[in-house]
A and B are shown apart, each in its own frame.
Chain A
Amino acid sequence: MSKIPEDLHYTEEHEYVKQTDDPGVVQIGITDYAQSELGDVVYVDLPEVGEKFARMDVFGTIEAVKAVSELFCPVAGEVVEVNEALEGDPSLVNKDPYGEGWMIRLRIRNPAELDQLLTAADYAQHIGE
């Protein structure tokens, strides 16, 4: 069973959205299930701070030993921070996807978009757990 924290939002493409201390900013990464399916992550290609994305735009790619996968932006917004630690140690995505393995922090354009994402229960059902 993979970890699916109750308080996060999810996409069908296996990204999660986590509220930060700043109510206008969310943290985005991939789920525990996704990292387990991808296997050992070797590169994460992330955008620059200041880049803007529409909902479901590709904001990066993740290269694992076995496969490559695109990263989709769950909500529209502007990148305010990227996880620089992933460049030195991409395996953080495998070790701690919801914590140290986060990818970007985004200032969201429309908070209502969060309601269109999957709940933990929806996501669990989506991945068949």
Chain B
Amino acid sequence: MSETELKRTPFYELHLSLKAKMIPFAGFEMPVQYPTGITKEHEIVRTSVGVFDVSHMGEFEFSGPDRNAFVNRITCNDVGALRDGQAQYSAILSDQGTFVDDCIVYRFDDRVMMVVNAANIEKDWEFITRRKAGNVRIKNISDEVALLAVQGPASESLLQPLTKIDLSKLHYYHFEVGSVAGVECFVARTGYTGEDGFELFFRPAHAEVMWHALVGPGRAAPVGLGARDSLRLEMGYPLYGSDIDETINPYEAGLGWIVKLDKGVPFVGRAALERIKEKGPARRLVGFRCLEKGVIPRHGYDVYLNGYKVDIVRSGGFSPTLKEAIGTTYLPIHSVAPGTKFVIDCRGKKVEAEVVKLPFYTGGSVKRAKKPA
């Protein structure tokens, strides 16, 4: 994609004024870091509060009487288990049971919203509209939504004075419609960092008002996509295109918990997943740490087990919190126990790594639901 075709979020000018380093990402021009730097931005989210522009993410809206039934047929988690005002992590799967995309489904009293990966908006839209059935209207509202993620242990204390919503009663993976800093929006207690936090959806016209209410001295620091990636990696959260893709099924990715085979709906991919579950997956996504200092495993480096190439590094990087090189890869199912050693070819240098339990980081402030949806 050439640079002239890159899209911009409603916060583009604000990023430039803050001297963010902009990079092309999923068809958008996005801030990878601010002058603060990735390591420091990461630390701010772990210890205080940061704000991410994630307006590049895609949003689809489903309305009409058959909306819940329809979304239940194109995603693997159970929309029927959601109450209004509740959200769930889910996935759109192919007929082979592999990932078309991962997504979050939000159930409103009169509609369903689905948030998908920016790089997959067109593909998902094609996939979903091609399967349209029943009385349902589907709208791609990606360009009409500004999305900010407020993440970190101090998120609630930053946000509470700006809204009448009682945030102490807004639980993990729940959302509420209201206003923040005078801007109509809906506030979801979700995120991709392992810290407590919120995601705010609102009209792009209010981008500047909302940004200045949240970001600034004494408020939140702006945080770029670089730290977003290192934060999610420390939590072992999968990234589409790296950890999961159209060759990977949920059981392999450790996401069997989002597959509800018995929800009573013949969703896309179910037949294949029943067979896979019966047989058991042949490989499994594992977390690893490098046993040698001085190299960072990057996406795409070859992974060898007992001399045989078994996969590539899926996600890899330096963990600012743990101060070591970590990553994920797929290993044969009988070699996934913590402590299992294997070798990564880091640009010609053979580096030993060992399987560790996920998540890498367990000290986060995220308030998990008592009953997972």
Find A43's partner among B33, B39, B293 (CB 8 Å cutoff): B293
**Cross-chain contact of B318 among A42, A45, A94 (Cβ < 8 A):** A42
B191 within 8 A of A: no
Interface residues on B, range: 10 to 19
Could you list 19 A-B pairs, sorted by A, with CB under 8 Å?
A39-B38, A40-B37, A40-B38, A40-B40, A42-B39, A43-B293, A43-B295, A43-B296, A45-B294, A61-B347, A65-B39, A65-B226, A65-B230, A65-B317, A65-B320, A66-B32, A66-B38, A66-B226, A68-B347
Interface size range of chain A in the complex: 10 to 19
- A63 in contact (CB, < 8 A): yes
Residues on A with C-beta less than 8 A from B347 are 61, 68
A94 touches B38 (CB 8 A): no
A65 and B38 in contact, given A39-B33, A39-B226, A42-B318 (Cβ under 8 angstroms): yes
Residue B284 is within 8 A (CB to CB) of chain A in the complex: no
Residue pair A43, B317 in contact (C-beta under 8 Å): no
In the complex, what distance in Å separates the CA atom of A43 from the CA atom of B33?
A: 19
Interface string of A69-94 (1 = CB under 8 A from B): 00000000000000000000001001
Kindly supply a per-residue 1/0 record for chain A positions 90-114, scoring 1 wherever the CB is within 8 Å of any chain B CB and 0 otherwise.
0100100000000000000000000
- B residues whose Cβ falls under 8 Å from a Cβ of A: 21, 32-33, 37-40, 226, 230, 293-296, 298, 317-318, 320, 347
The residue in A43, A65, A68, A91 that gathers the most chain B C-beta atoms within 10 A of its C-beta is: A65
CB closest residue in chain A, given B346:
A68
Minimum CB–CB distance for A39 against chain B, Å:
6
The answer to whether B226 touches A43 (Cβ under 8 A) is no
**Residues of A contacting B33 in the complex (Cβ-Cβ under 8 angstroms):** 39
Residues of chain B within 8 A (CB-CB) of A45 are: 294-295
Whether A43 and B38, one on each chain, are in contact in the complex, defined by CB atoms closer than 8 angstroms, is no
Q: How far is the CA of A61 from the CA of B39 in the complex (A)?
A: 20
In Å, the complex CA distance between A66 and B225 comes to 11
Which of chain A's residues have a CB closer than 8 A to the CB of B296?
A: 42-43, 63, 68
Cβ-closest 8 pairs across A and B? A40-B39, A42-B318, A65-B38, A63-B296, A43-B294, A45-B294, A40-B37, A40-B38
| Distance in angstroms between the alpha carbons of A68 and B317 in the assembled complex | 11
Residue numbers in B under 8 Å from A94 (CB-CB)? 37
A55 to B33, CA, bound (A): 34
Residues of B near A39 (CB, < 8 A) are: 21, 33, 37-38, 226
Q: How far is the CB of A108 from chain B (nearest CB, A)?
A: 27
Task: For the complex formed, measure the closest distance between the CB of B4 and the CB atoms of chain A, giving whole angstroms.
Answer: 19
Binary contact readout A11-31 vs B (1 if CB under 8 angstroms, 0 otherwise): 000000000000000000000
**B39 and A63 contacting across the interface, CB-CB below 8 Å:** no
Task: State whether A63 touches B226 (Cβ < 8 A).
Answer: no
Contacts of A65 in B (CB 8 A): 38-39, 226, 230, 317-318, 320
Chain A nearest CB: distance from B36 CB in Å? 10
Looking at B33, B38, B296, which has the most chain A CB atoms within 10 Å of its CB? B296
B294 contacts which chain A residues (CB < 8 A)?
A: 43, 45, 63
Q: In A32-67, which residues have CB < 8 Å from any B CB?
A: 39-40, 42-43, 45, 61, 63, 65-66
Q: Is the beta-carbon distance between B37 and A63 smaller than 8 angstroms?
A: no
Q: Which residues of A contact B38 (CB under 8 A)?
A: 39-40, 65-66
Please give me the residue from chain A that is nearest to B35 by CB atom: A36
With both chains docked as a complex, state the minimum distance between the C-beta of A50 and any C-beta of chain B, in angstroms: 20
Query: What's the nearest-Cβ distance from chain B to residue A96, in Å?
Result: 15
Q: State the Cβ distance, B33 to closest chain A Cβ, in Å.
A: 6
**A45 to B, closest residue via Cβ:** B294
Which residue on chain B has the smallest CB distance to residue A37? Answer: B21
Contact partners of B230 in chain A: CB under 8 A: 65
Q: Which single residue of chain B is at the shortest CB-CB distance from A46?
A: B294
A74 nearest CB across to chain B (Å): 22
Smallest Cβ-Cβ distance to B293: which chain A residue: A43
Tell me the smallest distance from the CB of A77 to a CB of chain B, in Å.
23
A42 to B21, CA, bound (A): 19
| Shortest Cβ gap from B298 to chain A (Å) | 7
Q: Which residues of A contact B318 (CB under 8 A)?
A: 42-43, 63, 65
A66 surroundings in chain B (CB, below 8 A): 32, 38, 226
Assembled-state Cα–Cα distance A2/B295 (Å): 27
Q: Which A residue's beta carbon lies closest to that of B42?
A: A65
B265 CB to nearest chain A CB (Å): 42
Chain A proximity of B150: nearest CB distance (Å):
23
How many angstroms between the C-alpha atoms of A65 and B230 in the bound complex?
9
Q: Which residues of B contact A42 (CB under 8 A)?
A: 39, 296, 318
